[in-house]
Chains A and B, each alone.
Chain A
Amino acid sequence: MLDSSALRVQVLAYGLKIRDVMTTKIFAVSRNCTMGDVQTIMKNNGISGVPVVDERRVVGIISMHDILIALENSRLQELVTKHMTTDVKTLSEELPLSFAISAFSNHPFRRFPVVNQANELVGIITPRNINLALIRELSRQLDEIEEELAPSAVPKANSVFHRAYRLTRYDFEHAGMASAELKRELKKRGVPPKIIRRAAIVSYELEINIVAHSHGGTLTLFIDDHRMRITAIDFGPGIPDLDAAMREGFSTANEWIRSQGFGAGMGLPNAKRVSDEFEIQSGVEMGTMVKAIVFLNRNR
């Protein structure tokens, strides 16, 4: 799982560390608290998992599920130490965000306690933290792009084209707009039709993929003299089996999507086929990130 983390760090997580994303408002309990105490904390704060600490070291964790079991067996008055999961996986705050993303894909847990170098509890990370951080980071980038574009309203020929598009779930009416703009831009730059076609196909497949299969996301186009780079990011639900998704004929599409002419399970493999470089990362319940490059002066 670590082999691809470098790319994740670089692109998906934008160099963010777990520390930048985690929540530091921690609700933890000590060994001498009861299950009833934990239940009250969960109820009052709207949280579903509480670490048990001893001198700031995490020694266990109580989930909502543990509370329900205790409640069923009328054991809420018992100490947390009798009920907690002691095999707790923690994440170090120094790690890149990509580690947290893989941890969520590889484990069924909905939250991880975050610890510092002294192994003391300093935060909690959930998929929601990650989503929010990525959305924040994306809008920050969008602002930057807009600032970049602002000074010269009319971009010079063959200057850098950099634009981001927001994509909404099931909005088949507008899906494809980014690709249409991409096509016009490449045409204006005198890129050979065969290369335009490949670039437009990658972009279109990725647009449709977000609209048909995700909760929504963004597509960012970057064009300079040498390459067209697309970064497609969505906010979930993520792809449980990437190998299967990259196989032709695999699709999770429903009949409605099929009736729109999509969902033949060809999108991702096709996008990869026509790209010169293609990278995909996905975390279940977090989202999927695809980076594709088509070189503009290199025929196949």
Chain B
Amino acid sequence: MKTSELEKLGFECLQNQFEDVEIAGGYTSDLLSDVMANLAEHQVLITIQAHKNTVAVASLADAAAIVFCHGRKATADVVSAAAQEGIALFSSPDNQYNTTCRVAKFLGA
């Protein structure tokens, strides 16, 4: 499954300048230190932290995308940081548990 296909899950794409890579799994967390330690390459990060630092941490891990839960939108500075780093941003209307389940199902877990 490719990053761009996340939109099929009903997620709204907030930032579309990214390399359309094959998604290598997911990681769900709101603690940036935890994300920094555990997020792996080409994974999707599922989080509520619609925050510039989240983009920085995701970019360190070379993540494929960030999905913000609860319909959270990103502010302009977050979007531009993500565009610069080539990290896709999506917004899921669902909570973290349901969003994670949907992503996992989609990835065939």
Contact = CB atoms under 8 A, between A and B. Distances in A.
Interface of A: 249, 255, 258-259, 261, 264
B72 A249 contact: yes
Contact of A264 (B33, B48, B53): B48
A259 B32 CA distance: 8
B31 A249 contact: no
Contacts of B49: 258, 264
B82 interface: no
Nearest to B49: A264
B50 interface: yes
Interface residues of B, number: 10
Interface of B: 30-33, 48-50, 53, 72, 75
Contacts of A264: 30, 48-49
Contacts of A255: 32, 53
A261 B48 CA distance: 11
Contact of A249 (B33, B50, B53): B50
Contacts of A249: 50, 72, 75
A258 B32 contact: yes
Given A249-B75, A258-B49, 12 more contacts: A249-B50, A249-B72, A255-B32, A255-B53, A258-B31, A258-B32, A259-B31, A259-B33, A261-B30, A264-B30, A264-B48, A264-B49
A176 to B, nearest CB: 19
B34 to A, nearest CB: 9
A134 B18 CA distance: 55
B27 to A, nearest CB: 17
Contacts of B30: 261, 264
10 contacts: A249-B50, A249-B72, A255-B32, A255-B53, A258-B31, A258-B32, A259-B32, A261-B30, A261-B31, A264-B30
Contacts of B53: 255
Nearest to B33: A259
B1 to A, nearest CB: 29
